Amino acid sequence: DAKTTQPPSMDCAEGRAANLPCNHSTISGNEYVYWYRQIHSQGPQYIIHGLKNNETNEMASLIITEDRKSSTLILPHATLRDTAVYYCIVFNTGTASKLTFGTGTRLQVTL
């Protein structure tokens, strides 16, 4: 599975959009981009995933560049409850693949 690079930490003011970047320059054609988050002392929670088109759900939007070498997770109106570690993972949903976590981005939402 391809490796991802994320900034170790980011801050965001409550009510503002949080834009979390991720580089995955070695991604291959059959690999999806998945985002999970982990709130303190809980298990990781699925947020969103995509292959090449931009995706949106009730939690977030995912913007994937045309060359698929990077992506951005957007939380449109961050709240204090969005404070968490966010993991960007490149994942091939074939049977031999596994979800492999890096160290993620620690997002701190402040008043």
Partner 1 sequence: EAEVAQSPRYKITEKSQAVAFWCDPISGHATLYWYRQILGQGPELLVQFQDESVVDDSQLPKDRFSAERLKGVDSTLKIQPAELGDSAMYLCASSSRTGVNYGYTFGSGTRLTVV
Residues near partner 1 (CB under 8 A): 34, 36, 41-46, 49, 85, 87, 91, 93, 95, 98-104
Q: How far is the CB of 32 from partner 1 (least distance, A)?
A: 9
User: In whole angstroms, how far apart are CA 94 and each of 27, 44, 74, 111?
Assistant: 15, 21, 27, 42
Instruction: Name which of 46 and 65 has its Cβ closer to partner 1.
Output: 46
Instruction: Name which of 42 and 53 has its Cβ closer to partner 1.
Output: 42
Q: How far is the CB of 7 from partner 1 (least distance, A)?
A: 15
Instruction: Specify the residue for token string 């999970």.
Output: 36
Q: How far is the CB of 26 from partner 1 (least distance, A)?
A: 18
Instruction: Name which of 96 and 111 has its Cβ closer to partner 1.
Output: 96
The residues facing 73 across adjacent strands are: 20, 62
Q: Three-state SS for 80? A: helix
Burial profile 15-27: b = 16 or more Cβ within 10 angstroms, e = fewer: eeebebebbbeeb
Q: How far is the CB of 6 from partner 1 (least distance, A)?
A: 10
